[in-house]
Each structure stands twice: as C-alpha cells, then as structure tokens.
Structure 1
C-alpha cells in the first residue's frame, strides 16, 4: 500500500476494489466515478450485438449458451 492511502480507513467498497484491481487502479476508478452510482448488467454481452455472432457460429447452442451466459433456448431463438 502507498503511504498516502490508509487502507483500514477506506470505505469497504474501496477496500474491495483495491484488493481486486490494485491500489493504483482503485484510485483511477475513484477519480473517474466518485459520487456516482451504477449497476452492472448480469450479462457481459449485449443481445443486439451478439445475434450476428451466434448466427455465424457453427458451435452448438449448448456451447454458445455456456460461452456467452445465455440460456440454450435464448441462443436457439436468436440464431434463426
């Protein structure tokens, strides 16, 4: 830890960020988004941009569902 940062005095979320991405990156995140509230989508990929990738793939629906975090049914319906 840097001598400028008192880890034990940080809010828990900043302690977790520091543990996860390192102190330097935690400070970048703090500087960029401090005071903001945001939520992250459950899925990493947006459906609209994923559909053409699914249609072009030769992999099975099951494999694509696991890879992209969607259900097999959703993958099947969006490959048509």
Structure 2
C-alpha cells in the first residue's frame, strides 16, 4: 500500500517511524495523530496497575526490577 512516499523528503521523525514500523503504519500514525504533540512516559507500565501483579508474583525482586524498570526500593515497597 505505498503512497509513493519520498523517504528523503520526510521529516526525521517520520523517517524514524517509517524505519521502525513500516511505511504503511507510519502513514496510519501520521493520518491519526498529525498535528498533535505528545510525550511518552519513561516507564512502560502504570504503577497503579502493576501493584497487584507484583503482590501476586513469585518472581524475585531482582527479576522484577529488570522486567518492569522500577527501582529496587519501589518494587520492595509495593510487594507488601
């Protein structure tokens, strides 16, 4: 589904999106969010949603730190 996009003429952010998610998906993102400004959280997981998962988990704190990207103290405090 190429729309004859001229890659070299794209803004750098659209070139990166094209490389990451394909031309077709870059165009979908463009048509859906064009003109919008947004920022992405440093964390992938919502802390409120993660708390019950941590409490039910039998995985070690060390593995949970690597998996979810939160600090050791935060993981430890929220598993109680």
The number of equivalent residue pairs is 80
Instruction: Return the alpha-carbon distance in structure 2 between the equivalents of residues 73 and 62 of structure 1.
Output: 11
1:27-38 matches, within 5 Å, as 27-38=27-38
The answer for the alignment partner of 1:67 in structure 2 is: 67
List alignment gaps of at least 5 residues for structure 1.
none
How far apart are residue 3 of structure 1 and its match? 5.9
The answer for the alignment partner of 2:20 in structure 1 is: 20
1:39 alignment partner, SS class = coil
Q: Does 1:6 align with 2:6?
A: yes
1:35 alignment partner, SS class = coil
Q: Does 1:52 align with 2:41?
A: no
Instruction: Return the alpha-carbon distance in structure 2 between the equivalents of residues 22 and 64 of structure 1.
Output: 32
The superposition leaves residues 25-62 of structure 1 with CA deviations (integer Å, 9 ceiling, x where unpaired) of 00000000000010000010000000000000011111
| TM, length-normalised to structure 1 | 0.94
List alignment gaps of at least 5 residues for structure 2.
none
Aligned in 2, Cα 1:3/1:36: closer, same or farther, shift over 3 Å? closer
Instruction: Return the alpha-carbon distance in structure 1 between the equivalents of residues 3 and 25 of structure 2.
Output: 16
